[in-house]
Structure 1
């Protein structure tokens, strides 16, 4: 009214206005009333919209006074916290927190809003639910008051408990093995890195591999195998529970244990032996009493090296344990570790060395003992001219080739190059050219494509089968992975001469028992070495028995590893017909063997 009267008086004094002030006052009051009515309607509409949003929102909302005490809460907040909205009135916002950390976070948020007028304060936390802690996203925002500088805190709550549980489940799955529940390789690596980087006390790393676990899976089924793995995990965690022990499953049947603290290598070894004893105790699964053995590599050292160095040391030590015969532990030895690393470094580059032409044939002539000037055959082997380690004989790299899958490529190259050399000799010396004898690596001997490979190479060099002798041994013949006996029979039909290396009667008896098409045998090992220095009655009797049995089978008897002429003479007296070894010459390559063949041919 006062405002309308003042403006009416002002307008009445304005030039051109002819209305009486009282009339103007009424006009202005009508305008004011209409404006106020519109404002009231707009305010009421805004309140209704806010109230509808506030009431229907799935987000829990609590309105508080400037001190942070709740004066109103919507139904959604009540549902989220498992209580009625009315029961939340009069409760300070911070008291909704579940733990001290959550309470302090809410208290800090309210204070920051009031004192520093932040636009909002948001944090992931737990609020107290009637059934226990509940994970939420809590947001505190300020509502301006009716006086400048006054702020009313508003709490908005999003229920993320199921999302949090899902995230925790996924996190657990990412860091744990689903079968055994143990930490997986990723979590183990992080734990090891943390333990090593701490740089205090000692760390012990035990790598365990279950021996022959494939037997359990293939023999009893994967479900039994899985239960056995769970049993192994349980036994390991029950044995290793001191020194901040951390047990993990790294691969299918590979486990690791990390110990951290103060201990001796003997203590760790005793724990590993205890674990071995526990694993050997049968676990009964579906009526089957299954006991397993394990191989273990043990590294005990101050927590000073990088975690990668510790891991590598454990892996190499485990390899040594398995190579030594399995079912045993091996303690890390820095000297042996250095040698093993060199060996594995050699094995890792075999493929590149073959492609880069670093291999060459190494020949060893076999002579007739009745006339050592006459060649019986030339044995072809491999030598690696390593750019760093120099000349490496086959004994130094063939075991590694077996591990890396390079045995067959090396054997194929050996066969191809040996037959190429044979073709060259036959062209130069005609009938005086010697046969070439190739010792088949075990993996090549059992290869199903062996016959095709030999035939292809013979045809390629236009050679008859008689130009080739193929030598194998007892373990290759009996290897269940291949059909060696069938391959030998077909190769014999092609004309190739089959040679068997024997070290005793058992090997010799493979020939009649399996009807092997073998025409020559090569005595090897202790049966030959026993007569290297002098006549030995027992060794001579044993060897004579072997030779007599060989003659009964219609075999020609040779020997390898003959050291000198006296050694050769003793063997010849007992019935050995041909031999090779240092008494003839050291192994020769390229031009040297060509010259030797030329001399014998003359």
Structure 2
């Protein structure tokens, strides 16, 4: 016995005593109550040991059911009460009635115990049947004196047997029937003799039964065994195990048919109940995942080229809050109420509602004509759930997020449909809940690509798939290259060359922006050092973008100093660019880091100035060297005159330039694309420009050419 089972010894003893009282009088056994209790205690300990065993197996319960019959506990009530007691009392005695995992195991033990019990009874019955059949054969083959003795024995067995026995001729008429069969079918012997075998056949009997019977009376087979339903004389239904054997005459021709009928109604009902439990959710009564997946698979198996199928995969919004705040009992009642509503809205031919677990439900709609069929169902569900649900003293309102999939069956699989419905459910929740979202292959492809990029980014950095392009910052006064902005690119082996807008946001979400940013910083500083060594005073400074997450990294100042020292670059040759939202926040730590960098000599620039906070009064207190005016203001300066001359934009830019100069800051205008823009910016007094008019981002060699050209 396992330690877990030993610790439950008192509970096992109590359960065994309850078991003895429950089945007392249901079977004839030669054991005293004390002996019975000791035997059932042994069985209880084996069941508890199996309940806690890892890995879990139900085989011990099957053996217990088998041993019960061998110990002469053969009554149907014995089995029924034992199975019911095992489900109702065992976990209660153990104090574990709320453990869902153990409840599932107890259900498996119930089924296994019933199966072992049924198997033992069946073998016992078959032994009786074989003895009877052998008696019939002996009656034919024995000598006259032996025949009379055998017939007497047969008559005794025939009359007193617990199973029903009938003898009929090959034309189907009943010649003889014992008392057990008469009681079983609810007809007297005279009534049975007026009937043929055909009279007991039902419209829903399998054609296989008639085929076997016809083969037997023609002498093509000796016996067969089937499960068959009968309707008694009083209209009640019974299920039987039917064994039909052929008796031949001395010449070997078919002469009589012996039918043995075992009433297995209780076993059939138990199996039906267990089968229902295995395929239905115990809380809501809806189909469970297993039954739903079987039905979905059948919908695909029976499909032709035009068959379509639809799914609504739904999840209740905010159910966890209700469960945690009001308790699991209220949550369970809410799930039951929701299940009833779903069943009401969705019920119909070719439709199924199933509970997949927790607060997730799925609706199958077979033979859809278009996506609108599924949308209609989803709208009905969303509308129906808006009505408040009364649970005890609580009036609850619940909504749902629904993922929709509708498509032709050809070209897809049940697994594909379920996966896409699950993905679309996630979209519905992400889009705001209390709504449905329809599967979109293009959106899914983008999501998959996004996930792929996010997952492969760390290894891509190690494999050297990233590289840096540089775009010049040109002094407007003399058109010389004053600096360059470092722009990271990703040469992806599958998606090709990727611009920053494809992966920078992902890097920020995953935290990869910190190691990636440090790599870009080191590459840019090394390149700036190379230019300084080759071009001296004409060498540009290098400007590197700094993300919010990098600014909040406590090692930022240390890492910048380390990289500058490693490559031998003076701090004045490095500029770090930050957005307004990053630099003008309320947190003190980022400003402390910037002040340390500023004091170190590193240039600090505000990127896209004018699109964020634009807190001008706050600007004078910031450790900043340069403003980079957002390209949206520069766009209006593309022409010298006319309706697009952008007088307002020119005044805004002029004001920003004047303000920056008053504060001792330099100004760079972004997105300069035309000569008129450059001329007007120079006239305004803007210090530098950056954009395609001067050069597009490119490799270091492109900057080399620009420096050499202007030198």
Which residue in 1 is equivalent to 2:696? Answer: 586
- Residues 143 and 154, structure 1, Cα contact 8 Å, conserved in 2: no
Q: CA deviation at 1:140?
A: 0.9
CA 531–281 in structure 1, closer or farther in 2 if over 3 Å, else same: farther
Q: 1:364 aligns with which of 471, 475, 478?
A: 471
Q: Distance in 1 between matches of 2:544 and 2:247?
A: 99
- Residues 70 and 88, structure 1, Cα contact 8 Å, conserved in 2: no
Q: CA deviation at 1:85?
A: 6.1
Structure number with the bigger relative contact order (C-alpha 8 A, sep ≥ 6) is 1
Q: 2:613 aligns with which of 485, 490, 507?
A: 507
- Residues 312 and 362, structure 2, Cα contact 8 Å, conserved in 1: yes
CA 193–95 in structure 1, closer or farther in 2 if over 3 Å, else same: closer
Secondary structure of 1:101's partner? coil
Q: CA deviation at 1:152?
A: 1.8
CA 68–381 in structure 1, closer or farther in 2 if over 3 Å, else same: farther
CA 547–326 in structure 1, closer or farther in 2 if over 3 Å, else same: farther
Structure 1, residues 363-386: CA drift from partner, whole Å, max 9, x if none?
333445556524345232223355
Residues 28-47 of structure 1: matches in 2 within 5 Å? none
Residues 61-72 of structure 1: matches in 2 within 5 Å? 61-66=163-168, 67=173, 71-72=177-178
Secondary structure of 1:199's partner? coil
Does residue 438 (structure 1) correspond to residue 542 (structure 2)? The answer is no
Q: Distance in 1 between matches of 2:423 and 2:278?
A: 33
Q: Distance in 2 between matches of 1:347 and 1:283?
A: 39
- How many pairs were matched up? 532
- Residues 182 and 248, structure 1, Cα contact 8 Å, conserved in 2: yes
Structure 1, residues 511-544: CA drift from partner, whole Å, max 9, x if none?
959x987766544464554555544344456666
CA 107–217 in structure 1, closer or farther in 2 if over 3 Å, else same: same
Q: CA deviation at 1:438?
A: 2.8
Q: Distance in 2 between matches of 1:287 and 1:410?
A: 48
Q: 1:191 aligns with which of 279, 292, 296?
A: 296
**Larger deviation, residues 235-244 vs 147-156:** 235-244
CA 260–461 in structure 1, closer or farther in 2 if over 3 Å, else same: same
Residues 295-306 of structure 1: matches in 2 within 5 Å? 299=406, 305-306=411-412
Secondary structure of 2:695's partner? coil
Secondary structure of 2:178's partner? strand
Secondary structure of 1:375's partner? strand
Q: 2:278 aligns with which of 156, 162, 170?
A: 170
Q: Distance in 2 between matches of 1:325 and 1:277?
A: 16
Does residue 420 (structure 1) correspond to residue 523 (structure 2)? The answer is yes
CA 372–492 in structure 1, closer or farther in 2 if over 3 Å, else same: farther
Which residue in 2 is equivalent to 1:384? Answer: 491
- Residues 110 and 140, structure 1, Cα contact 8 Å, conserved in 2: no
Greater C-alpha Rg: 1
CA 433–94 in structure 1, closer or farther in 2 if over 3 Å, else same: farther
Q: CA deviation at 1:170?
A: 1.4
Secondary structure of 1:412's partner? helix
- Residues 543 and 576, structure 2, Cα contact 8 Å, conserved in 1: yes
Q: TM (normalized to structure 2)? A: 0.55
Which residue in 2 is equivalent to 1:142? Answer: 245
Q: TM (normalized to structure 1)? A: 0.63
- Residues 473 and 502, structure 1, Cα contact 8 Å, conserved in 2: yes
Query: Could you say what the CA RMSD is over the residues aligned between the two structures, in angstroms?
Result: 6.0
Which residue in 1 is equivalent to 2:576? Answer: 469
- Residues 180 and 229, structure 1, Cα contact 8 Å, conserved in 2: no
Which residue in 1 is equivalent to 2:501? Answer: 395
Q: CA deviation at 1:587?
A: 1.0
Q: CA deviation at 1:584?
A: 2.9
Which residue in 2 is equivalent to 1:18? Answer: none
Q: CA deviation at 1:585?
A: 1.4
Which residue in 2 is equivalent to 1:181? Answer: 286
Which residue in 2 is equivalent to 1:6? Answer: none
Secondary structure of 1:429's partner? helix
Q: CA deviation at 1:419?
A: 1.2
Does residue 348 (structure 1) correspond to residue 469 (structure 2)? The answer is no
- Residues 97 and 126, structure 1, Cα contact 8 Å, conserved in 2: no
Unaligned runs of 5+ in 2: 1-142
Residues 307-322 of structure 1: matches in 2 within 5 Å? 307=413
Q: CA deviation at 1:325?
A: 7.7
Structure 1, residues 302-329: CA drift from partner, whole Å, max 9, x if none?
6654347777887888888888888776
Q: CA deviation at 1:437?
A: 1.0
Q: CA deviation at 1:195?
A: 5.6
- Residues 93 and 106, structure 1, Cα contact 8 Å, conserved in 2: no
Q: Distance in 1 between matches of 2:499 and 2:417?
A: 31
CA 498–264 in structure 1, closer or farther in 2 if over 3 Å, else same: same
Q: Distance in 1 between matches of 2:332 and 2:301?
A: 32
Q: 1:567 aligns with which of 670, 673, 677?
A: 677
CA 274–172 in structure 1, closer or farther in 2 if over 3 Å, else same: closer
- Residues 545 and 576, structure 2, Cα contact 8 Å, conserved in 1: yes
Q: Distance in 1 between matches of 2:703 and 2:308?
A: 56
